Amino acid sequence: MFLTPASFDDLGDELTRDTAEQLARNWTTLLLNGLVLIVAGVLIWSIDWSVRSLSTFIGALFIFEGLWIMLTAGISFRAGNLLTGVLSIAAGIAIIVWPSPSLIVLGIFLGSWLIVVGTISIAGAFAGRKLLPDWWLLLLLGVAEVVLGVLALADPGATLAALVTVGGIWAVVIGAMRVVLAFEIRHLPQDVDAALGSRGGGAAAT
């Protein structure tokens, strides 16, 4: 699930059953995304990369992330989500077809993209904090991405080992958090039912 502030424009201050079901439908794709990222992170750490091969692999991850963002855009498809997905795909293609990518180019691409996506996730978390009981998980995702993006941009000409470290940490940490978030989202409709039931019971008691 990829949420932005626009995802909550048409909602009130409470998460309804219908909205919870719409969000919960994305839990399997979010779970798959998280598992793929974890595997990618392990591969990043396990392989003796060249700059060319690492660029191709990270470019493929950019394309994968862009497609995922476009297909799981939250409550409804929004221009901002689609634009972010297209930009991620374009960045991935640019990295792959670059004639001879340098560490500086790869670091700038990776850092900038992480900061943009992380910032959007943070904004979406705050926009949905009154609606999503576990909105802080989305916030942690965004903060982690921004921090890793800043690390990549702080020294874009760093060694290949440094970029492998940042890329691997991003893939494993973000992937694991998305797996956790997927299971949280899966139970949103039941959480809403429980909240409505307890509220109804309280009203009946009075």
Residue 84 counted as domain residue: yes
Q: Which of 94, 87, 11 is nearest to 55 (CA)?
A: 94
Residue 87 counted as domain residue: yes
Residue 15 counted as domain residue: no
Upper half-sphere CA count for residue 164 (Cβ side, 13 Å):
16
Residue 198 counted as domain residue: no
List the pLDDT tens digit at each of the 206 positions of the chain. 445 444 444 444 455 667 667 777 778 888 898 999 999 999 998 888 888 888 889 889 889 888 887 876 554 456 667 787 888 898 889 888 886 767 787 788 888 888 888 888 888 788 767 666 677 878 888 898 898 888 878 876 667 777 788 888 888 988 898 888 888 778 777 766 776 666 555 555 44
The parent domain of residue 137 ranges over 27-188
Give the model's pLDDT for residue 42.
Answer: 93
pTM greater than 0.75 (yes/no): no
Q: Which of 116, 163, 124, 162 is nearest to 140 (CA)?
A: 124
What CA–CA distance (Å, rounded) separates 19 from 171?
29
Residue 10 counted as domain residue: no
Total number of domains in the chain: 1
Give the model's pLDDT for residue 35.
Answer: 94
Residue 60 counted as domain residue: yes
> Is the CB of residue 112 less than 8 Å from the CB of residue 149?
yes
Residue 17 counted as domain residue: no
Indicate the SS3 state at residue 206.
coil
Give the model's pLDDT for residue 74.
Answer: 53
Residue 96 counted as domain residue: yes
